[in-house]
Amino acid sequence: MSEQIPFSPDQTDSEIESIHASVKRLSDKVQTINEAVKNLTQNRAQLEGKIEGAQKRIQHILSRLPEQSDGRQLNLLGETIPPTNVEDDSEPTTH
């Protein structure tokens, strides 16, 4: 960025200083933009990692879902559920 531009002899010292100040401001802005782009790139990589992890967790949950024709209770948390006995379909009574 330190490319030298030849000045015409007609330019005054104040004009040259003004140009130098403008170049300095632009250089600072470019540096700020470069840093922002670097930060955004890092943030994007982190978010992509989080999204990938969430997709894997969702896929794991979906893989544990029973088929639609399966009448069993859904067990998404991995807890053991005792099998239901089809023959014992009566409600408990309280007499």
Tens digit of each residue's pLDDT (9 = 90 or more) over 26-80: 999 999 999 999 999 999 999 999 999 999 999 999 888 877 666 565 555 666 6
CB contact at 8 A, 52 and 58? no
With a CB cutoff of 8 Å and minimum separation 6, the contacts of 27 are 1
d(CA 33, CA 86): 68
Placement of tokens 């009566």 in the chain? 90
Model pTM above 0.85: no
Looking at residue 72, what DSSP letter applies?
S
d(CA 62, CA 38): 36
